[in-house]
Structure formats: C-alpha cells, structure tokens
Homo-oligomer: A and B are copies of this chain.
Amino acid sequence: MVTVAFERELEAALREKDVAWLSHMMGECGSQDAAELMARMGRQQRALFYRTLPRDVAVDTFDALDPAVQADLVKALPEIGEVFEGMEPDDRAELLDELPASVASRLVAELSDGERELTGIVLGYPEDSIGRRMSPELITLRPSMAVGEALEVVNAHLDDAESIYTLPVVEDDRRIAGVVSLRDLLRASESTRLADLVQEPDLAVAHESAEEAARRCADRKRLALPIVDTEDRLVGLLTVDDALCILEEADSEDQARMGGSEPLRRPYLATPVYEIVASRVVWLLVLAIGATLTVRVLEGFEDTIASMVVLSVFVPLLIGTGGNTGNQAATTVTRALALGDVRPRDVLKVVFREARVGAMLGVLLGSLGFTIAGFVYGWSIGAVIGLTLVSICTLAATVGGVMPLVGKKLGIDPAVFANPFITTLVDATGLIIYFLIAKSVLGI
C-alpha cells in the first residue's frame, strides 16, 4: 500500500525531476500501485514517472491504465510497440480509438500478423458494441469430445485464452451449442461426452450495445458470456472483468450526464482543467439558453409582480421544489432503465405511478406551505403557495418520470433527459402555474 508520506516524497521527486530517486523507489512498486499513482498525476509527470518504472512492471502498469491515459503515454513515448504487442486485442482496440490516425496506423503496422488479425476482428464492430470489447481469443470445444479430450485442449491453451473457466462448445459450423464450466469438466468422468454436460448459455450478439451485454453478464452472474454473430456463430467471449469495466464506464457516464456534464475520459485529477471546462460548458450553455424561457415568462407577469412584490420572494422556493421533485423522479426512472427494471413500453405504468407519487408529495408539502405561508403572509397567499406546490409537484414528478423513457425511445441517452433538463422545463411551466393561480386567487 502507498502511504501519504511516500506520495508526498514522490510528488517532490517528480517536481524536481529526481530520476535517481524515482528509479530507485519505483523498483519496489507493484504495477497496480503504479497505475493508481499515475491516475493522480498530470500529463508530464506521468511520462516522467512511467519512464522510471522497471521494464516488466511498466508493461502491466500500461495495461491497467485508462485508454485515454494510455494514449497520452503513447504520444509522449513513441517506443511503446512492445507493450502494444502484449495487450489483449480488445484493450488494444480501445487504445487505438483514442489515438490520432497516424500514430494508430504506425502501431498496427508494427504488430505481428496474428495479433493484427485479432485486432482487426474486434475493430470490425461498431463503437459501443460488445464486439469491440470482446476477446476474440477462444478455446472452443465440440459436443462430440470426451471430457478427457476437452481437458487436454484446455491444458494446451492455458496461456493464450483470456478465460478458461467458461468454455464455449460449438458445432462444426461454429454455431454455438452451449457452454461447459471447467468445474463441470473436473467433476465429470473422463469418458463423459460434452454433449451431456453442455448447458444453454446466456449469449450476446456482437452488434448489441456493450452496456446491455455487460449488464446481462452481471445479472446472470456469469464469469463469461459467449458472443455470437447474427447467425449464432461464436465470434468471441466477454469476460466478467471486462464486463465490470464496461459497467463502471456506463455508470460514470450516466452520473455525469445526470449532473449536466459530459463524462471525463481520464481520472479527475489526471484531466487537464480545460478538458473539464469543455465537458461542462456546452450543457451549461444549453441549459442557460433554456432558462431564458423563465425570463420571458416572468416578463409576462411583470405587472403582477409590480402590484404585489411579495409574490417574487417565493419564486426560488417554488421552482426549486419543482426541480427537486422532477429530479427525484427522473433519477429513479433513469436508474431503473439502466438496470432493465423498466422499459420504454412501460411508459403508461410510469406515468400513472409518478402522477400519484407527485400528487401525494404535493399534498404533503402543499398543506405545510399553506399553513406556514398563511400564518406569516395571510391565508390568501397561503392558498396560492399551497395550490402551486400541489400542481408543481404532480407535474414535475410526471414529467421527470416520463422524460428518460422518451429519451430512450428516441435513442438518446436517458441520462441526458434527466435532471438539469427537467429543472429548466419545470421552472418555466411552474412559474406560469404560480402566477395564474396567484392572479385567480388574489384577483389581480
């Protein structure tokens, strides 16, 4: 484990470019520790640090880095060909996506024939598809094999196949017949035919979204998921560790979008400040432009405000509560969508649920608002606040619950349609509701 004191010394050594200290200390550093340290450094520090790692540690460290960080290193240290040759084909494809075309094609040209071919298979699938993230290196068994024979095949491929614990069994035309686990092979007698052991597998099709396939692997608690083409022929394997990476990325992406920004491609402290600004500025602008709607609405009610200034003091409270109610609904439904607990065709069920939830929350908050505001500002103001809260909460929960489903249906990331977007929408309509209620209750 890396101590705080050590990290301070390391920072000082990197600042002072103390290569002697670095080379000496990094000799004892494991690849995982090195990767975690690098996730917290700036770009130049990272290149310097990486250069001081012992050769074998450097290779494993490189493997453990995020693709965007790997790409930074490749650009800083061109002599990376050997490490590139040792990577898994799916990791290699991810790195290539991050690199400028000229660097990428140089690296691919330097690959051995076999590795280049495997990389080509993976790169043949669309981005964000599971084909891009699968391992094309496979041990495949036949239903006609005996267990003893199968174990020999496994023994002969212990080094080069990414997973040996879940083994796909295929027919002569490479159509998938099922899977056997190494556990079942070890448990069975040597002469048993695989046909008797084979289990129907959970599959993914190579063109399917990587997130959906990874979620299936996780939900079904599989160590690996066979990946097939549209004709059911085996083309690769998704291992659970890769599924974990995919899900972690997907969840980071959802959370970033729900917070109104684009996801970062590097760890936070390793991301340059201008990239953080870039990840936020577009959404902030879009939302600010959306918010000019509220300016227009309020201008329309300027006379009402002028004749009763006290109405304006409740504006942030009312639209804030609407925004919060909408966010709650949108967050819940977005997460349920990601987990597969809700699907776009459940839209009516969701509307019905959220309208009820919103109405109940509105009645609770509205009664409270009526009582408190009525007590302080008089009962007619209390009635305006109470009625507005009931309407806004019902509307906000319903809109908040439905928007992610609409996004999904339109093929847009539901998380984009979640929180900040809802807030802006609910702000403007909430204000209209508020002033219409105020005008009719107060007779102004």
Contact = CB atoms under 8 A, between A and B. Distances in A.
Interface of A: 4, 32, 36, 39-40, 154-155, 158-159, 164-165, 182-183, 186-187, 202, 218-221, 223, 240-241, 243-245, 247-248, 251-252, 254-256, 258-261, 264, 267-270, 273-274, 276-277, 280-281, 283-285, 287-288, 291-292, 294-295, 298-299, 302, 305-306, 309-310, 312-317, 319-321, 323-325, 327-328, 330-336, 339-342, 345-346, 349, 353, 356-357, 360-361, 364-365, 368-369, 418-420, 423-424, 427, 431
Contacts of A248: 218, 247, 339
B313 A220 contact: no
B277 A361 contact: yes
B316 A357 contact: no
Chain A binding surface SS class: helix
A284 B324 contact: yes
Contacts of A283: 324, 328
Given A261-B328, A302-B313, A360 B277 contact: yes
Given A255-B331, A255-B335, A332-B264, A276 B321 contact: no
A278 B368 CA distance: 16
A387 to B, nearest CB: 16
A336 B294 CA distance: 33
Contacts of A320: 287-288, 291, 294, 423-424, 427
The 8 closest A-B pairs by CB, nearest first: A259-B331, A268-B336, A298-B313, A294-B316, A267-B341, A221-B241, A291-B317, A261-B328
A259 B330 contact: yes
